[in-house]
């Protein structure tokens, strides 16, 4: 077992919220200030205080520094990090976060990473946020970081480049492939700095993993939200391992009910879903209102593929709504394996059970092809393939 950290991003994430959550979870503020103070930013330091957000206690970290009007390039910030009194791992984390930010800014503005001119994130307070977060995560010592789907907020905000919709362009670019949570809260909940921290450090996204919670940190945002507590929660503890050869992950479940579509149309839709990367597609016979027979079409997929597969359901069926949720699952360790038979090799999969036993399952298409070539019953080919399996060949 190892240490796991979970970020609950129901109110989004920013650099100062991350620092507040880390300090609240026990990371030494003096150590963070020692690192930030070594960057050469005049009078720059982190200050922590306890606040309440919607009656919930949290730690708010702010950056105190001398006013400046400097907007730095990436190479200037990286040089500042290299000169700082940070461990090599802490420098590496900080470099990676800033590099992700630079890549996003370059993509948005159609320029190169070297020419990116940081505005808000090049100021002293943002540099302190990111370097402090890099040092804090290193000191926390989590072997795995998991985060919830991320709330970004909605509406429009004013930036250095003018007014834009939430999420801001660089934030949206950084959040590519990261599951987002629906939020009707006006304003920017997730900042470019927060998005860069997620994109750089988080190993996976989904529900709270199996763990024994040891510490909980609550980092406060600057705003007071009337709808909810504006806090980032950080849960730290020991991962609870599943037995033997069983691993845990998350999938997205998509589901819709159909009562006015022909079987051919449903079949075509399922084919498209498979081709688009669905992990599983299946139908269930159901009875709908007024006694009408119907079909429940269910799809299992990776969270990052959910939007594309949902689009197929809307375009290829008559549905007006798709249900979706994240689900945890346990999967056996497995690998592809071929067995040799008198008709040639037959592909299949080997799975290891929790107690260590090995199981072989021939692939249908491989067996079907052999059966058709040799005019054999499919059942005979399937049985011969199982008989040919020997665990010693693994």
Is domain 246-329 annotated with CATH 2.60.120.20?
no
Strand ranges in 227-352 using DSSP code E only, listed in sequence order: 231-239, 246-258, 280-287, 293-301, 323-341, 344-352
Closest CA to 131 of 167, 168, 169, 79: 79
Radius of gyration for the chain, computed over Cα atoms and rounded to the nearest angstrom? 26
Contact (Cβ atoms closer than 8 angstroms) between residue 206 and residue 21: no
Sheet holding 344-352, edge to edge: 280-287, 293-301, 246-258, 323-341, 344-352, 358-362
What is the secondary structure of 133-201 as a DSSP string?
HHHHHHHHT-SEEEE--EE-EESEEEETTEEEESSPHHHHHHTTTS-EE----BEESS-HHHHHHHHHH
Helix (H, G, I), strand (E, B) or coil at 356: coil
Total Cβ atoms within 10 A of residue 386: 15
Per-residue pLDDT tens over the stretch 109-146 = 787 777 776 655 558 888 999 999 999 999 999 988 99
| Lowest mean pLDDT, pick from 115-119, 133-137, 190-194, 268-272 | 115-119
Secondary structure of 201-224 in the HEC alphabet?
HCCEECCCCCEEEEEEEEEECCCC
Question: Tokens 């049985």 identify what position?
Answer: 383
Mean pLDDT of the chain: 90
74-92: string of b/e by CB count within 10 Å (b at 16+)? beebbebbeebebeeebbe
> How far is residue 361's CA from residue 356's CA, in Å, rounded to a whole number?
16
Which residues, at least 6 apart from 176, have a Cβ–Cβ distance to it below 8 Å?
none
pLDDT of res. 334:
85
Q: What percent of the chain has pLDDT over 70?
A: 96
Mean pLDDT of 44-73: 89
Domain extents in the chain: 3-239, 246-329, 331-393
Higher per-residue pLDDT: 369 or 71: 369
Between 355 and 230, residue with greater pLDDT:
230
DSSP 67-102: ------BHHHHHHHHHHSS--HHHHHHHHHHHHHHH
pLDDT attached to residue 160: 67
- The confidence score (pLDDT) of residue 117 equals 62
**Tokens representing residue 200 in the block:** 């750089």
Q: What's the pLDDT band for 199 if we cut at 50, 70, 90? A: very high
Is the C-alpha dihedral spanning 346, 347, 353, 355 positive or negative?
A: positive
Decide if pLDDT at 48 tops 60: yes
Percent of the chain with pLDDT over 90: 68
**CATH 3.40.50.970: does it fit domain 331-393?**
no
Q: Which pLDDT score, from 0 to 100, does residue 124 have?
A: 83
CA distances (Å), origin 393, targets 186, 339, 358, 389: 60, 9, 12, 8
Contact 9, 151 (CB under 8 A): yes
pLDDT band at 264 (very low <50, low <70, confident <90, very high): very high
């Amino acid at each position: 077992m190892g240490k796991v950290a979970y970020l609950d991003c129901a109110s989004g994430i920013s650099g100062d919220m991350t620092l507040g959550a880390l300090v609240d979870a026990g990371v030494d503020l003096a150590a963070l200030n020692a690192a930030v103070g070594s960057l050469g930013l005049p009078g720059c330091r982190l200050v922590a205080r306890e606040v309440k957000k919607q009656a919930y206690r949290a730690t708010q970290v702010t950056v105190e520094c001398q006013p400046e009007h400097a907007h730095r390039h990436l190479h200037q910030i990286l040089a500042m990090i290299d000169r700082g009194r940070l461990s090599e791992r802490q420098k590496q984390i900080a470099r990676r976060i800033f590099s992700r930010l630079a890549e996003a800014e370059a993509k948005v503005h159609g320029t190169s990473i070297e020419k990116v001119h940081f505005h808000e994130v090049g100021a002293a307070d943002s540099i302190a946020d990111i370097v402090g977060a890099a040092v804090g995560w290193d000191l926390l010592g989590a072997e795995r970081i998991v985060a919830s789907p991320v709330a970004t907020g909605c509406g429009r905000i004013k930036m250095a480049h003018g007014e834009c919709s939430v999420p801001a362009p660089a934030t949206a670019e950084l959040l590519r492939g990261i599951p987002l949570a629906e939020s009707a809260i006006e304003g920017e909940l997730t900042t470019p700095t927060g998005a860069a921290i997620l994109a750089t450090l988080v190993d996976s996204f989904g529900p709270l993993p199996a763990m024994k919670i040891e510490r909980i940190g609550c980092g406060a945002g600057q705003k007071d939200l009337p709808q909810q507590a504006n806090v980032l929660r950080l849960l730290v503890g020991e991962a609870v391992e599943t037995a033997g050869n069983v691993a845990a992950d998350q999938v997205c479940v998509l589901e819709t009910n159909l009562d006015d579509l022909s079987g051919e149309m449903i079949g075509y839709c399922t084919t498209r879903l498979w081709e688009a990367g669905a992990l599983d597609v299946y139908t269930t016979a159901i009875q709908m209102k007024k006694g009408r027979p119907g079909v429940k079409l269910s799809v299992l997929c990776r969270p990052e593929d959910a939007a594309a597969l949902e689009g197929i359901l809307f375009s290829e069926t008559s549905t007006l709504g798709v249900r979706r949720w994240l689900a945890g699952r346990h999967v056996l360790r497995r690998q592809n394996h071929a067995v040799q038979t008198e008709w040639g090799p037959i592909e299949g999969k080997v799975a290891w059970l929790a107690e260590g036993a090995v199981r072989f399952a021939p692939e249908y298409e491989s067996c079907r092809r052999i059966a058709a070539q040799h005019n054999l019953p499919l059942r005979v080919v399937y049985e011969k393939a199982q008989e040919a399996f020997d665990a010693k060949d693994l």
